Structure 1
Amino acid sequence: GRQGDPGFSRFFVSLEDSLMVRFGGEKLQKLFEKMGDEQIESKAVTKSITMAQKRVEGYNFDMRKQLLDYDDVLRRQREIIYAQRNRILESEEVHEMVHVIFEKTLDQTLQANILDEKKQTVDIPGLCKSLEMTGLTEDRAIHAQELEGLKYEEIKLHCLDRIWNDYEKEIEPVKMQFLPFEKTVVLRNIDRNWIEHIDRMDKLRSGIYLRSYAQNNPLQQYVQEGFDMFEDMNKRIDREIAFFLLKVRIRRETKA
C-alpha cells in the first residue's frame, strides 16, 4: 500500500493445529470436513478460532495455577522445617529440646500399646518390649514389674523419669562437650529425613493425577496425604534422634 497506509495483519491457521484439534469444538470440525482443502474466510470461523484461543489460554492458566497450588504444599512444609532448623541452630537449649523429643517418642510408644482408649489401660509387656526398640539397652531396660498397677499418666511419668535420668547420668561427666554433639545429631536427622521426604512428595505428586479416575480430587488428595507424610516424618525424626542418643555410652578412661 501507499506510504502511511495503516495496513492490516493476516493470520493463517492450519486445521491440523493442536489449538483447533483440541479446542475448536465439534461444529468447527464438521465445517472443516465439509470445506475440504478450500480456503476459508468467515466471521464465524474467526470467532470460533478466537474462542478456541481463549479456551486454551484459560486451560493454560488453570494448569499454571494448579502447579502453584501443588508447589504451595511443599513450600509451607519447607518453611516449617527451616524455621525449626534455625531455632535449633540459634538455640543454646538444645538439651531441653532433646528432653521434649524423648517425651514425644515415649508418647508414640505408649499410644501404640494402649489396650483400651477410654480406660487408658496399657499393654505393659508390649510397652516394655517396644521401649527396647526406642534405643533402651538391657542395662537401662524398664521391666514390667515396675509398671504394674500404675495408670497411664503414672506409667508415662515413671518411664520418662527413668529414661531421662539414666541419660543425664551417662553424659554428666562430659556434659559441656556433649551438648554440641546433641545439636549435630538433631540437625543431621532433620536434614536426612527432609531430603527423603522431598523424594516421597515428588513420587506422590507424579502419581496423584491417577486419583481423578476414581472420582477423587487429585489436589485435595495430595494435600491430605502430603500432610500425613509430613506428620509421619516428624515422628520418625523424633524416634531416630531418641534411638541414637539413648545408645550413647561415654567411655571413661582410667588412669594407670
Structure 2
Amino acid sequence: TDIKLGEGVRELGGLCVLGSERHESRRIDNQLRGRSGRQGDPGMSRFYVSVQDDLMVRFGAEHMEALFAKLGDTVIESKTVTRSISGAQRRVEGVNYDARKQLLQYDDVMRQQRETMYDTRNFILENDDVHAVIHDMFKRVISDIVAAHFNSEARDQDLNELIAALDGIGFKGVVRVEDIEGRTENDVVDICLNQAWSDYEQKIEKVKDKVLPIEKEVSLRMIDRAWSNHIDTMSKLRDGIGLRSYAQSNPLQAYVTEGFNLFEDMMRTISREIVAFCMNIRVVDGPEQEA
C-alpha cells in the first residue's frame, strides 16, 4: 500500500525510511526501500548496521570486526561494507532455501504415503463389495507367513512352526504337514490361500449379504486406526532423524528408508488384523442369522 504524503512533507524531502538493521532477505529490504519515493514522490532510505546484528554475527562479520574496532564509533560508509552485507544476505537466503527444499522433501514422503492410503480407503468407501480386497489381504498375510517360516530344505519341525503361525492368525486346520511337504514356496502359498479362502467362503455362504457390509466397515475402521498411529510414529521419527547426521548418515535418506519400512509394516498390520477378524467371524444359526 502506498503511503500518501501529508501536507508539506514533499517540500521537506518526502518520506524517509530508516532501517535499524538489514533483514535476512534482500527482498524485505527492497520492500522497505520501496515505501519511499513512490510514483515520483521525493524520499530516501537509509540502513544502519552493526557487527552485533544477528545477520552479521552469523554470516560474515569476522573479517570486519578488526576494522570496526579500530574506527570505534566512526560512521563507516563503504561499498566494501555494503557488498559484505549483501553477501551475508545471499548466504542466509541460500541456507533458508535449502531448509525449505529439505522440508518439502520430508513432506513429500508423507504425501506419497497419504495418497496411497487414501486411494485404498476411497476404493473401499466407494464400493459396496470389497470381497476382492479381502482376498488380496488373505494372500498377503499368507505370503508373509510362508516367507518367514518356509525354505526349500524345511524339515517337519519347520513346517509345524509354519502351520502354528497360520493357526495363530486364524487359519486353523488349513493345511497339514503332508499337504505341503516337498512343495515349493509358491505352491505352499497357493495351497494355503485356496484352502483358507474356501473355508471362509463356506463359513459366510448363508449370511454373505450381512457379512459384506461388515467387511467394509471393519476395513475402514482398522485402516483409520492404523493410519492415525502411523502418523504419530512418522512424526516421532522425523523429530529425531536429525541425530543420524552424527552417525555420518544422511538424515533425509534415513527418513525415506525407515518411513517406507514403517508404511509397509502398517499395511501388513492392517491386512493381518482384517484377516484375523474375518477368520474369527462366528456364524450363529437361528431364525435371524448373524455374523
Q: TM-score, normalised by structure 1?
A: 0.88
Q: Distance in 1 between matches of 2:70 and 2:266?
A: 61
Counterparts of 1:118-133 in structure 2, within 5 Å, are 123-133=158-168
Q: Give the whole-Å Cα distance in 1 for the aligned partners of 2:66 and 2:231.
A: 48
Select between 157-166 and 102-111 the one with higher mean Cα deviation: 157-166
Structure 2 residue corresponding to 1:158, chosen from 191, 202, 214? 191
Matches within 5 A, 1:72-221: 72-116=108-152, 123-137=158-172, 140=173, 142-221=175-254
Q: Could you report, residue by residue, the CA deviation over 1:139-198 in whole angstroms, capped at 9, with x for unpaired residues?
A: x45332433343333322221122111111111111011101001111111111111111
Distance 2:257 2:72 in 1: 51
Preserved contact between residue 104 and residue 238 of structure 1 (Cα < 8 Å): yes
* Structure 1 residue 4: Cα displacement: 8.2
Alignment partners' CA distance in 1, 2:52 and 2:175: 75
CA contact (8 A) 2:174 2:192 kept: no
Q: 2-side partners of 1:199 and 1:90: how far apart?
A: 27
**What amino acid does structure 2 have at the position aligned with 1:74?**
M
Separation (CA, whole Å) in 1 of partners of 2:51 and 2:96:
21
Aligned length: 251
SS in 1 for 2:151: strand
Which residue of 1 is the match for residue 67 of structure 2?
31
Cα 1:2–1:236 change in 2 (3 A) is: closer
What is the deviation of 1:37?
4.1
Q: Is the 8 A contact 2:170 2:280 kept in 1?
A: yes
Residue 54 of structure 2 aligns with which residue?
18
Q: 1:126 to 1:12 in 2, by over 3 A?
A: same
Distance 2:58 2:107 in 1: 27
Distance (Å, rounded) in 2 between the aligned partners of 1:36 and 1:216: 46
Residue type matched to 1:154 in 2?
D
**Gap change, CA 1:177 and 1:31, over 3 Å in 2:** same
Offset of residue 41 of structure 1: 2.5
- Indicate the residue corresponding to 1:223 in structure 2: 256
Cα distance in 1 for partners of 2:93, 2:268 equals 43
Q: Which range moves more in the overlay, 159-168 or 5-14?
A: 5-14
Any unmatched runs of 5+ in structure 1? none
Give the superposition deviation at 1:136. 2.9
Aligned counterparts of 2:262 and 2:70: Cα–Cα separation in 1: 55
Aligned-partner residue type, residue 113 of structure 2: Q
In the alignment, the residues of structure 1 paired with residue 247 and residue 184 of structure 2 have an alpha-carbon distance, to the nearest angstrom, of 46
Structure showing greater radius of gyration is: 2
TM-score, structure 2 as length reference: 0.78
1:250 alignment counterpart: 283
**Equivalent residues of 1:121, 1:152 under 8 A apart:** no
CA distance in 2, matches of 1:79, 1:2: 58
Higher helix share: 1
Matched, 1:63 2:96: no
Q: Which residue is equivalent to 2:11?
A: 3
Helix, strand or coil at the partner of 2:100: helix
Letter of the aligned partner of 2:114 in structure 1?
Answer: R
User: Which amino acid letter does the alignment assign opposite residue 3 of structure 1?
Assistant: E
CA RMSD of aligned residues (A): 2.4
1:34, CA displacement in angstroms? Answer: 3.5
